[in-house]
Structures are given as structure tokens and as C-alpha cells.
Amino acid sequence: MRVAVVGATGMVGNVMLTVLREQNFPITELIPVASEKSVGQEISFGSQLYKVVGLETAVTMKPDVAIFSAGGDTSLEWAPKFAEVGTYVIDNSSAWRMDPTKKLVVPEINGDVLTAEDMIIANPNCSTIQMVMVMAPLHKKYKIKRVIVSTYQSITGTGVKAVKQMENERAGIAGDMAYHYPIDKNCIPHCDTFLDNGYTKEEMKLMNEPKKILDPAIQVTATAVRVPVVGGHSEAVNIEFENDFDLAEVRKILHDTPGVTLKDDPTTNSYPMPKYAEAKDDVFVGRIRRDESNPNTLNLWIVADNLRKGAATNAVQIAQLLVKKGILKVESIA
């Protein structure tokens, strides 16, 4: 299968290459794609070297699937061009997520909605993915009414420039700033740009995307905060259900959910942390307890590597699902 990775030289693109290799995705030819300044660079994949090409060249190569992680503007312009030549596009930006004509997919939750007609498929926001992975089985059992989420988001969600800023600050070196303020020894309640309603784009993604993936009746409100962490995003989530629940049953449901790891034992100080979620594909959940201020309401703590399940892993899982459904036909590729 001919696979293009658009944004191959970026932080998420690098992880996508790692995940594709780990998952033994059936690649006969890798097409690494990046901006013009990176064209001609060589990328190692398995035992082979592949030269980075530009977007226009990549379209003419007609890959079977293209996984995008190159920003919303690039996706809006180029995803349709790939789709026109018969390439299935899995897009990691926010460009297509709320488009009513495009599917927003977490394979474990709503992968059944995909059809051969879905040439452009949206990958949800990283913070959304880990939250809905926990919400979905609980919604099925108890029916969620409302969610209040506060995030503690890794600087890797901003990119290499943010990681370098924190490293510089820790080393006492002056350098380029990814944020308006220092990030080391700080928390910045500002993820993405502010909108007219006072929320950031990141917060609105968390408020809108779960409704599209799970149920439009679910109400969500969010506060997103950037913290000096590299391992993954953490979320404090308060969920109000229509029906009451049993804590032991909640733990069993989550324990039995594929892609979710239960880590919830206060007696041994066992709970999810980004330090231990880093480089893992599962979503980790713990600190499960009843909200004693409101009936039928649950508090929990969710952590996941935002570059893996929050981005690259979920995108590759969508591609794997297309193969499994026979939409991407491996045997027909020369």
C-alpha cells in the first residue's frame, strides 16, 4: 500500500511514522510529505530511506491513503485534492471535524460509521479522544447529561517550539517563545486562540466534538490549561448522568473497555500520570469517586499521551479499520 504522511517532519508526523512501523501497517511505499523547505530531506523508515516530497508531487503519486498532520489551512486546501485522485485522507487538524459532511471517528467508539464514500475522515482533538474513550461506555450504561472538564495539557500539544522554550528556561537560556509567558514552573490557562465568547478554540473543541461523536444531547463545558509537562494530557472530568451508578460497576466497565487502562487504587497511590502514559497507546483512568455535591455525578481523572492515542495512534487505527472493512484493499495494490 502506498501511504503518504503529510507533515512527516513534524512532531506528530514523526510519531505517526513510529506507530505505522510498530503496527506493521502494510506499506509498500512510504511517501513522506512536508513543506518546500524540507523537500529533498531523507527520512528513515524501517530499513529504507525515503525522500521528502512536496504536496503537489504527492498528489500526482496517488497514494492509497494520506495521513495529514500539517495544520488546518493545509488540510482545507490539499485534502480535497488528494481525495479527487482517489486517496483516502485521514486528517489530524481541526479543519473538517465539525463539517456535517465528514465523519469524526474514534475507531473503538464509532468506527462502524465509515463507508467507502468517506474520502476525508476527521481525527478528533487529542483532549477529546481521551475523554470520549472513557465517556462512551459510561454513556451507554448510565446516559450522560453534562460534563465539566478541566485539562492539564502537555506542551507537546503546541509543538517543538514549546518544548524548546521549556528546555531553554530550565537551562537559563534566552530563546524563542512559543507562549506569551514562561511555561516552566507555570500554568497558562490559554490553549489555542481566544474567541469572542471568552473560550479558547481548544475549549470549544472539547465542548463540541463529544456531541458529534457520542450524542448531541450531552452538554459539555471546558477550561483548558497548558502545564510544563511533556508526557501527555491530563483531565479532571465531572460527569452527571441521568441514572445512578455503582462505583464498583463503573470500575468494571472501564476495566473491560478496550483501549482503556484502569489505574485506581488510592491505598497504593495508584493513579494515572503523564509520566507513565508517555509513549503508550492506552487511555488511563483513575481517581474514580462519587461527586458528593450532586446526585448521579462522578469525578474521575483521565490521562493519555496526546501524540499517540490523541493523534498518531488514532489516525493509524482509522487506516487499519479501512483495511479491515475492505475499503482499502491491500491485495489490489501493485
Cell of 324: 479491515
Measured from the Cβ of residue 14, the count of other Cβ atoms closer than 10 Å reads: 18
The alpha carbons of the chain give a radius of gyration, in whole angstroms, of 20
Closest CA to 202 of 233, 178, 230, 228: 233
How far is 1 from 45, CA to CA, in rounded Å?
15
Report CA-CA distances (Å) from 191 to 127, 179, 199, 201, 271: 11, 10, 10, 7, 25
Closest CA to 122 of 82, 99, 90: 90
Q: Is 233 a catalytic residue?
A: yes
In the set 126, 139, 187, 190, the catalytic residue is 126
SS3 assignment, position 72: helix
Q: Which residues lie below 8 Å from residue 279, measured CB to CB, with a gap of 6+?
A: 305, 308
Tracing cell 497558562 back to the chain, one arrives at: 188
SS3 assignment, position 292: coil
Q: Is 126 a catalytic residue?
A: yes
Q: Which residues lie below 8 Å from residue 67, measured CB to CB, with a gap of 6+?
A: 3, 4, 5, 6, 16, 89, 90, 92, 315, 316, 319
| Partners of 90 in the β-ladder | 67, 121
Phi and psi dihedrals of 83, rounded to 5? Answer: -60, -35
How far is 144 from 208, CA to CA, in rounded Å?
15
How far is 138 from 109, CA to CA, in rounded Å?
12
Measured from the Cβ of residue 179, the count of other Cβ atoms closer than 10 Å reads: 16
Which are the catalytic amino acids?
126, 233
